[in-house]
Structure 1
Amino acid sequence: MTNPEVAILMLCLFIVLVLLGFPIAFTLLAMGVAFGYYAYYLGPPDTFSGFFDNNIFYLLNQNTYSVMENDTLVAIPLFLFMGYVVERANIVDRLFHSLYMAARNLPGALAIAALLTCAVFSTASGIVGAVVTLMGLLAYPAMSGAGYNRSFAAGVICAGGTLGILIPPSIMLIVYAAIAELSPLRLYAAAIFPGLMLAGLYIVYVMTRALATPSIAPKPRQEDIPPVGQIYMNLLVSFVPLFVLIVLVLGSILGGLATPAEAAAMGALGGLVLAMLYRSLTWQKVKESVFLTAKATAMVCWLFVGSWTFASVFSYLGGHDVIEHWFAAMDLEPWQFLIMVQLIIFVLGWPLEWSEILIIFVPIFLPMLDTFGVNPYFFAMLVALNLQTSFLTPPMAMSAYYLKGVLKKQIELMEIFKGLMPYLAIVLFSMVMLYQFPGIALWLPDYLFGTYVP
């Protein structure tokens, strides 16, 4: 076998091992070292005398050091800590019920409140599993008790929970910035309007569906609605502090007052202050938040070490060249290239999660952007929208499994899948809108930081 053929074998074997359930980070690491030993072997042929005389070990060491000293990635544990603290401070419970009462006169009020709560909480958290799980325990029983259709309610929670990987301050965008060597500030600015557009389309769908079929989302009973003064007082107490924290964190980044890491540190401190003000700050909750942050951060770091090692070996063997020549041989127009890449990412979303797609497969296409004259920030937003589908596409729609895990026998998995389908269509529609109107993503970063020049 030639080296490019070995590279393609390496990629195919990785996909097979992932589908068999092997841990992603350590699969990447093991395959990078195994195939790298073949690629970088320096000893005499057909002998074991140079078993440790191999540059793959130097490459692994350098990649590990590069990840640990990466300034961009410092923001990840701080944003994670902020999310875990907010999750344990009982803020989300108050926020959901306050938003429900404020939206009481709108069709599908409970579903709208669930979507808004998901958007706000996932923005503070950025952890899809945590948002879907918590909202499954909080919002689904409320909607089920109010007579909402089960599939409709499940779809709202699953779709709303994925917004956190798109709406800033998003951990996914920090990871993308590190992989593509782009400015996280520009990525955050580029993601604001696409994120708001997607959340807005979700709300429009919910209201339209509730108006067309009132039986799936009954209106609240008048006797369950508290006085108006109490509604707005609850909204002021539950919504405004968290919203202000998010605006301060994001505003300090976009205003150039702080780096993402500095803003994340401010957000982590703000989360602790909010928990203290809500009288929910205990040593046990802080300890749990620190433990979960360390666990998630360690996995992200190993993902980077493994993926960079894997990608380096794959490229050294000629894998990137094979794929690039394959695209070049098809003589594609830029729009054809974009559609083909997004289709590939969409299909990969069936068996894989966003982190695996982003770290392994997106770097394959990044070197081709200059060839086809594609703005890298525009491409990043198309990918970010597309990655929403990795949580919503059966049979491996992880948001559905998160929800099923907490609801257990209250709902069947196929009912959840049925509820996801409209939101999957909305994501695809939003990608079409972004392609037709690139200014949705590019206007704000160009306005804040000047026109992008490659």
Structure 2
Amino acid sequence: MTDPQIALLMLGLFIFIILLGFPIAFTLMAMGVGFGFYAYFQADQSFFDNRVFYLLSQNTFSVMNSDILVAIPLFLFMGYMIERSNILDQLFMSLQVAFRRVPGAMALAALVTCALFATATGIVGAVVTLMGLLAFPAMLKARYDTQISAGVICAGGTLGILIPPSIMLIVYGATAGVSVVKLYAAALIPGFLLAGLYMFYVVTRALMNPNLMPKLPKDEAGGLGFIEVLVLLAKAFLPLAALIMSVLGAILFGLATPSEAAAIGALGSVLLAVAYRAMSWQKLREAVYLTARTSAMVCYLFVGSWLFSSIFSYLGGEHVVKEFVLGLDLNTVTFLLLTQLIIFILGWPLEWSEIIIIFVPIFLPLLEHFGVDPILFGILIALNLQTSFLTPPMAMSAYYLKGVAPPQVQLAAIFKGCLPFVSMVFIAMAAVYIVPGTVTWLPELLYSR
């Protein structure tokens, strides 16, 4: 077999092994070392003089020494502390009261709460699970349609992948070698567009069929006046929103790097937990443990993927993929459609981190040939990855919600509730395709100089 054929065998074998359920990071490292030993083998060398071991140590050092990746554990810690601050129930209740005169008030309150909480934590499973315990039973008790209620929780919980400060965008920035700050600026308009489409769909369905989302009785909606509602929002909504906006604003306006802003956010989350009287040694220890575990997973993925991709490229696999795609005689639009279709399919069995770190680098060398801005490409991927959490048969958001939903709620109903929101994602992606300025305008405005 030729080296390029060995590279393709390496890629196919990797996909087969991870589908069997083996740990992805260690599979990447093991296959990188194994195939790398073959690639660099010299008959007159001793076993440990093979250059693949030097490459492994260098990749490990590069990952651990990366300034960009420092922001990941800090943002994770911020998210885990906010998750334990007991702010979610107060936030949902205050928004529900504020929206009480709007059709689909509880669904809108759940969407805004999910979006804000997902933005603060960036952890889809945590948001969907907590909202599934808090808001989902309340919506069912208010006689809301089960499918719509499930779709709202699942779709709202995934918005943290896209809306800054998104950990996924940090990982993409490190992988593609583009500015995280520009990615954050580029993601704002598409993120709010998608959240707005979700809300538009909810209000439209409520107006078309009020029985799907009936208005709350006055005694449950609360007979609070305007000032009292403002006080509620000030206590529950403003502190978390202020923390997120201060972190994001510091990054976008150049007052701090993402790592520095993440450090301020981590400190702010601790102060928020203290202010809400939710701070304890046990919660702090849990947040530190979960942060360390998730950060280690991301770092191991980077080490393994960089080793794997280096060997894959050295054997000529990247050249084979590039020549194959170029041989299809695609234009820019069809190239984007093809890549997004592949990522959409990969989203069924794989997590977003694995897609970004392992498979996206295969497409990155082709962007220059097709004249695609890597920032625009990254935002399209971030939009696309929303669907991986919402599309059967591997819609992880649906499984998270099913795990905490009342027994009578069927998984099929949750799947059906997610599908209309998947269509909203496709509409948002189409808008970005048609009007790329939705992505490029804000970065050019802020950083053109």
TM-score, normalization: structure 1?
Answer: 0.96
Structure 1 residue 19, shift from structure 2 partner: 1.6
Alignment-derived partner of residue 250 in structure 1: 248
2:382 to 381, 384, 401: 384
| 8 Å CA contact retained: 1:272, 1:281 | yes
| 8 Å CA contact retained: 1:249, 1:266 | yes
Alignment-derived partner of residue 194 in structure 1: 190
Aligned pairs for 1:147-296 (under 5 A) are: 147-226=143-222, 227-228=224-225, 229-296=227-294
Give the stretch that moved more between structures: 168-177 or 283-292. 283-292
Structure 1 residue 42, shift from structure 2 partner: 2.2
RMSD value, Cα = 1.2
Structure 2 stretches of 5 or more lacking a match?
none
Structure 1 residue 207, shift from structure 2 partner: 0.8
| 8 Å CA contact retained: 1:120, 1:243 | yes
Structure 1 residue 99, shift from structure 2 partner: 0.6
How far, CA to CA, are the matches of 2:328 and 2:42 in structure 1? Answer: 37
| 8 Å CA contact retained: 1:25, 1:302 | yes
| 8 Å CA contact retained: 1:210, 1:216 | yes
How far, CA to CA, are the matches of 1:140 and 1:225 in structure 2? Answer: 17
Alignment-derived partner of residue 307 in structure 1: 305
How far, CA to CA, are the matches of 1:109 and 1:21 in structure 2? Answer: 42
Alignment-derived partner of residue 91 in structure 1: 87
How far, CA to CA, are the matches of 1:208 and 1:221 in structure 2? Answer: 21
Letter in 1 for 2:128: V
**Secondary structure at 1:120's aligned position in 2?**
helix
Structure 1 residue 353, shift from structure 2 partner: 1.6
Alignment-derived partner of residue 438 in structure 2: 440
Aligned pairs for 1:267-416 (under 5 A) are: 267-407=265-405, 409-416=407-414
| 8 Å CA contact retained: 1:351, 1:395 | no
| 8 Å CA contact retained: 1:43, 1:51 | no
Structure 1 residue 124, shift from structure 2 partner: 0.7
How far, CA to CA, are the matches of 1:233 and 1:446 in structure 2? Answer: 38
How far, CA to CA, are the matches of 1:429 and 1:296 in structure 2? Answer: 32
Provide Cα deviations, 1:301-333, integer angstroms capped at 9, x if missing partner: 101111111111111111111110011112211
Structure 1 residue 400, shift from structure 2 partner: 1.1
How far, CA to CA, are the matches of 1:51 and 1:411 in structure 2? Answer: 58
Structure 1 residue 409, shift from structure 2 partner: 2.1
Letter in 2 for 1:54: N
Provide Cα deviations, 1:280-300, integer angstroms capped at 9, x if missing partner: 111111111111111111111
TM-score, normalization: structure 2?
Answer: 0.97
How far, CA to CA, are the matches of 1:434 and 1:318 in structure 2? Answer: 34
Structure 1 residue 232, shift from structure 2 partner: 2.2
Structure 1 residue 388, shift from structure 2 partner: 1.0
Give the stretch that moved more between structures: 187-196 or 401-410. 401-410
How far, CA to CA, are the matches of 1:411 and 1:7 in structure 2? Answer: 46
How far, CA to CA, are the matches of 2:2 and 2:304 in structure 1? Answer: 24
Structure 1 position 108 matched with structure 2 position 74: no
2:122 to 99, 119, 126: 126
Provide Cα deviations, 1:9-45, integer angstroms capped at 9, x if missing partner: 111121122222111111111111121111121235x
Alignment-derived partner of residue 24 in structure 1: 24
Give the stretch that moved more between structures: 26-35 or 117-126. 26-35
Letter in 2 for 1:27: T
Letter in 2 for 1:97: M
Alignment-derived partner of residue 70 in structure 1: 66
Alignment-derived partner of residue 4 in structure 2: 4
| 8 Å CA contact retained: 1:114, 1:139 | yes
Give the stretch that moved more between structures: 157-166 or 208-217. 208-217
How far, CA to CA, are the matches of 2:96 and 2:406 in structure 1? Answer: 25
How far, CA to CA, are the matches of 1:209 and 1:136 in structure 2? Answer: 21
**Secondary structure at 1:52's aligned position in 2?**
helix
**Secondary structure at 2:405's aligned position in 1?**
helix
Structure 1 residue 143, shift from structure 2 partner: 0.6
Letter in 1 for 2:310: S
| 8 Å CA contact retained: 1:43, 1:54 | no
Provide Cα deviations, 1:37-79, integer angstroms capped at 9, x if missing partner: 11121235xxxx7332311111110010000000000000110
Alignment-derived partner of residue 143 in structure 1: 139
How far, CA to CA, are the matches of 1:434 and 1:336 in structure 2? Answer: 15
How far, CA to CA, are the matches of 2:245 and 2:24 in structure 1? Answer: 34
* % same residue: 62
Alignment-derived partner of residue 33 in structure 2: 33
Structure 1 residue 214, shift from structure 2 partner: 1.7
**Secondary structure at 2:215's aligned position in 1?**
coil
Letter in 2 for 1:51: F
Provide Cα deviations, 1:325-380, integer angstroms capped at 9, x if missing partner: 01111221111111111111111112212111111111111111111111111111
**Secondary structure at 2:323's aligned position in 1?**
helix
**Secondary structure at 2:43's aligned position in 1?**
coil
How far, CA to CA, are the matches of 1:14 and 1:109 in structure 2? Answer: 47
Structure 1 residue 126, shift from structure 2 partner: 0.5
| 8 Å CA contact retained: 1:177, 1:184 | yes
